[in-house]
Chains A and B, each alone.
Chain A
């Protein structure tokens, strides 16, 4: 802003100045009044035969995904002729949050960012579904997979429900395995290191290919998703961050550094990683043979097919630490969540819709089959109608594994993961070498951020 004041006679200037002050004061009062006025929650009751139109915002963008969710909407409208669902696709989290602030926003929203659940639950942006579940005699613990309930609630407020889900597994290039004389996928991280080294080949001073790209910036190998294989403890009962105290966390970071060193060091790996194509394009490093093994989600199966990649591959559960061999078959679980706006005027109709999408076995199975996502209820996961694909079956088993874990919701949108990611980036590059001190610092930062976000 490049404005200057020019000298003016004292009288008019004083008047103008007073006018400006009055204007600012009026604006400030307006701001305070607007900001401090809370909108009362709307009524949640709607007669069952009253025609109702509800709006549903979701994030799916691919035409086949949008068509699939529309099929489920059509099926719902057949069951509930008085309810019309108007769906809007390609809604990201920012638009969703802005929509939830207004009284004429969406009635039902779904998002892929489970990080947001804590903020949405604690702010009241989405209503607590516990009373509705209870009123309809739905035992959520028996209906939904426990880990999926964990990432859809915050401090007991079940403001979202899981709508399909994701799991992570090891994709491996079977041709490369055969050429390297490896007969089966690794089950522990020590076996994994040996295989990764064996699969790594050098050509003209660069990798061709690398057995595994261990850098945290690589696609899905984020610290929290990879570290889930060590079953870490993030917070204690009092809500304090305890990463430095958990030996599993230290073991994870020690292991990743050992693996980086075994595969040629950070600098060489980072330079090679920079040649990887976009994760969601047909130049994905695994699809073009730049890596022999990759940690990825179940969605990669149809993507490989759609991309026309000629990679021969198979899927296995991710390895586990040698001292946790009995937990083989687990992974981090995440997925899509769905909830009802706290400002919706049609919460009863919205609940009928959410209940149908999240608990109707046929709807879940057909939706999951078409977009290759895991069903989020126990009944759907056991359905014989699920797609028959040996690679997808690996994910289905991981989804049902009792040791699979989910990241905790936090009131500040997964800030603790961001803090951990920053430390992990420094650790893997060698900028941070004091593991215990670094993790203690991470704990301190997480605690401060958590206390700050719950200050109100």
Chain B
């Protein structure tokens, strides 16, 4: 045990000066990022919270209306609850599905001794497809009369209407998300290759089977990556916009009506997410106040889920230690 001697005032001042000098050197390097943080994160965040208490159409000056927008969104605006439900569905099912599928794919690809590069490339390629193009292709592949349902019909299974049925549209979006698993697969693969082989050998000598080796060697080693994938997955799910909007537009077969804008969420609001609602309220319906309420809720959701996951997955924080 080391006993620290109390510092005298002169020593403290010297330390403070050294610390200030260090900060003075670091500050110019940090400044561009700090300016960006204030301008593009701090200011919009505070402005969004302020706008949520105003009547604001992005053109005339905002007027303070207190909790009116919050009451409207939470108690009177039906699409909000539907979008919230859809977003929570994506968080609860799409995120775990992606993490699990990415991990399993990484483990399987790791097993290949021959042609490993080919498999890695094959699984990674879909991730490179632009989201809009990938979604359009997926909607055609999962068309009620498309190739997937034709294959299912050959084995006497009646395929669902996928993107055209409100009960399966989110499932179809989840399949799309799992198809583009390349990013997670690569991260998991790198993590799996990093697990010391000696630990498997030791476990094997102790009589551990494959499942036990996975449970007691692999899983603890890749736990930080699982938490990372879950946290980033939740953030992506709360911001889920492009794929849902494009899938709805393509599956509905109608890009725009004459004189009217496109209502997101086809079919029957089943793919309407909070991120789409922010756009719809703020830009299509001139109701930036209510859109800001939804945006604040979105941020709260992201923070809450991220906090829960980080607390539960303490290994993630300790990974670097």
Encoded as 1 (CB less than 8 Å from any A CB) or 0, chain B from 290 to 321 comes to 10000000000011001000100000010000
Residues B253 and A218 in contact, CB atoms below 8 Å apart: yes
Encoded as 1 (CB less than 8 Å from any B CB) or 0, chain A from 394 to 434 comes to 00000000000001000111110110011001100101000
CB within 8 Å: A-B pair count: 184
Residues B77 and A449 in contact, CB atoms below 8 Å apart: yes
Residues A415 and B285 in contact, CB atoms below 8 Å apart: yes
Report how far A112 CA is from B259 CA in the complex, Å. Answer: 5
Residues B253 and A219 in contact, CB atoms below 8 Å apart: yes
Encoded as 1 (CB less than 8 Å from any A CB) or 0, chain B from 183 to 215 comes to 000000000000000000000000000000000
Residues B253 and A279 in contact, CB atoms below 8 Å apart: yes
Residues B62 and A24 in contact, CB atoms below 8 Å apart: no
Q: Which of B260, B284, B287 has the most CB of A within 10 A?
A: B260
Which of A2, A24, A224 lies in contact with B310, CB distance below 8 A? A2
Encoded as 1 (CB less than 8 Å from any B CB) or 0, chain A from 193 to 231 comes to 000000000000000000000000111101011000000
Report how far A254 CA is from B258 CA in the complex, Å. Answer: 25
CB distance from B98 to the nearest CB of A (A): 18
Within 8 Å of chain B (Cβ to Cβ): is A173? no
CB distance from B150 to the nearest CB of A (A): 12
Which of A26-34, A63-71, A305-313 faces chain B? A26-34
Residues B268 and A278 in contact, CB atoms below 8 Å apart: no
Which of B42, B50, B144, B250 lies in contact with A271, CB distance below 8 A? B144
Q: Which residues of A contact B65 (CB under 8 A)?
A: 455-456
Q: Which residues of B contact A413 (CB under 8 A)?
A: 261, 284-286
- A275-B259 in contact given A97-B283, A456-B65 (Cβ < 8 Å): no
CB distance from B314 to the nearest CB of A (A): 11
Docked complex: A266-305 residues within 8 A CB-CB of B: 270-271, 273-280, 297
Tell me the nearest residue of chain B to A337, going by C-beta. B259
Residues A411 and B258 in contact, CB atoms below 8 Å apart: no
Residues A407 and B253 in contact, CB atoms below 8 Å apart: no
Within 8 Å of chain A (Cβ to Cβ): is B76? yes
Residues A217 and B266 in contact, CB atoms below 8 Å apart: yes
CB distance from A254 to the nearest CB of B (A): 20
Q: Which residues of A contact B50 (CB under 8 A)?
A: 28, 31-32, 35
Which of A36, A93, A274 lies in contact with B164, CB distance below 8 A? A274
Within 8 Å of chain B (Cβ to Cβ): is A328? no
Interface size on B, residues (CB 8 A): 60
Q: Which residues of A contact B165 (CB under 8 A)?
A: 270
CB distance from A218 to the nearest CB of B (A): 7
Which of B76, B254, B261 lies in contact with A218, CB distance below 8 A? B254
Q: Which residues of B contact A220 (CB under 8 A)?
A: 254, 257-258
Interface size on A, residues (CB 8 A): 75
CB distance from B75 to the nearest CB of A (A): 9
Q: Which residues of A contact B156 (CB under 8 A)?
A: none
Report how far A448 CA is from B56 CA in the complex, Å. Answer: 17
Q: Which residues of B contact A28 (CB under 8 A)?
A: 46, 50
Residues A455 and B269 in contact, CB atoms below 8 Å apart: no
Within 8 Å of chain A (Cβ to Cβ): is B38? yes
Residues B251 and A123 in contact, CB atoms below 8 Å apart: no
Q: Which residues of B contact A274 (CB under 8 A)?
A: 143-145, 161, 164, 251, 253
Tell me the nearest residue of chain A to B73, going by C-beta. A452
Encoded as 1 (CB less than 8 Å from any A CB) or 0, chain B from 62 to 89 comes to 1101001100100011110000000000
Q: Which residues of A contact B310 (CB under 8 A)?
A: 2, 4
Docked complex: B135-165 residues within 8 A CB-CB of A: 143-145, 161, 164-165
CB distance from B143 to the nearest CB of A (A): 6
Report how far A261 CA is from B281 CA in the complex, Å. Answer: 35
Which of A48-56, A113-121, A359-367 faces chain B? A113-121
Tell me the nearest residue of chain B to A336, going by C-beta. B259
Tell me the nearest residue of chain B to A342, going by C-beta. B59
Q: Which of B57, B58, B250, B303 has the most CB of A within 10 A?
A: B57
Within 8 Å of chain B (Cβ to Cβ): is A166? yes
Q: Which residues of A contact B161 (CB under 8 A)?
A: 270-271, 274
Within 8 Å of chain A (Cβ to Cβ): is B236? no
Which of A35, A123, A278 lies in contact with B51, CB distance below 8 A? A35
Residues A217 and B60 in contact, CB atoms below 8 Å apart: no
Within 8 Å of chain B (Cβ to Cβ): is A101? yes
Within 8 Å of chain A (Cβ to Cβ): is B47? yes
Q: Which of A100, A166, A271 has the most CB of B within 10 A?
A: A271
Residues A452 and B287 in contact, CB atoms below 8 Å apart: yes
Within 8 Å of chain B (Cβ to Cβ): is A329? no
Report how far A402 CA is from B46 CA in the complex, Å. Answer: 52
Which of B143, B255, B267 lies in contact with A280, CB distance below 8 A? B255
Residues A414 and B261 in contact, CB atoms below 8 Å apart: yes
Q: Which residues of A contact B76 (CB under 8 A)?
A: 445, 448-449, 452
Q: Which residues of A contact B77 (CB under 8 A)?
A: 448-449
| 3 tightest Cβ-Cβ pairs between the two chains A and B | A456-B55, A334-B259, A119-B286
17 intermolecular pairs with C-beta atoms under 8 Å apart: A27-B43, A35-B47, A35-B51, A112-B259, A113-B260, A120-B59, A270-B164, A271-B145, A271-B164, A274-B143, A335-B259, A413-B284, A445-B78, A448-B72, A453-B286, A453-B287, A456-B65
Supplied contacts A4-B317, A101-B59, 10 more A-B pairs, CB within 8 Å: A2-B310, A24-B46, A35-B47, A115-B260, A151-B259, A217-B267, A270-B161, A270-B165, A335-B259, A452-B290
Report A's interface with B, CB cutoff 8 A. Answer: 1-2, 4, 23-24, 27-28, 30-32, 35-38, 93-94, 97-98, 100-101, 112-116, 119-120, 122-125, 151, 166, 217-220, 222, 224-225, 270-271, 273-280, 297, 334-335, 342, 407, 411-415, 417-418, 421-422, 425-426, 429, 431, 445, 448-449, 452-453, 455-456
